[in-house]
Amino acid sequence: MIDKRNIYKILEWFAEAGISDITSDTRALTRPKTARYGCTYTTLSEIQSLPELREAISKVDISLKNCALNMVFGVGNEKADLLLLGEAPGAEEDKQGIPFVGQSGQLLDKILTAVGLDRSMVYITNILPWRPPGNRTPTSHEIELFRPYVLKHIALVNPRVVMCLGGTAAKALLCTSQGIMQLRGKWTTIDGIGAKILSTFHPAYLLRSPSQKREVWVDFLTAMDMMSGQNSSRSHFSLETG
Other Cβ atoms closer than 10 A to 132: 19
Is 114:163 a contact under the CB 8 Å cutoff? no
How far apart are the C-alpha atoms of 220 and 218, rounded to whole Å? 5
Buried b (16+ CB within 10 A) or exposed e, 168-193: bbbbbbbeeeeebeebbbeeeeeeeb
Three-class DSSP labels, 172-193: HHHCCCCCHHHHECCEECCCCC
How far apart are the C-alpha atoms of 8 and 87, rounded to whole Å? 31
Task: Give residue limits of the domains in the chain.
Answer: 60-228
Burial class (CB in 10 A: 0-12, 13-18, 19+), 212: middle
How far apart are the C-alpha atoms of 195 and 154, rounded to whole Å? 9
Cα torsion 6, 8, 13, 18 to 10°: value is 160
- The pLDDT tens digits along the chain (242 residues) read 445 555 555 555 444 444 444 443 333 333 333 344 455 555 888 999 999 999 999 999 999 999 999 999 999 999 999 999 999 999 999 999 999 999 999 999 999 999 999 999 999 999 999 999 999 999 999 999 999 999 999 999 999 999 999 999 999 999 999 999 999 999 999 998 999 999 999 999 999 999 999 999 999 999 999 998 864 444 344 444 33
pLDDT at 230: 60
Q: Phi/psi at 198 (nearest 5 deg)?
A: -130, 135
Is 93:105 a contact under the CB 8 Å cutoff? yes
pLDDT at 39: 58
pLDDT at 192: 86
pLDDT at 92: 97
Under CATH, to which class is 60-228 assigned?
A: alpha beta
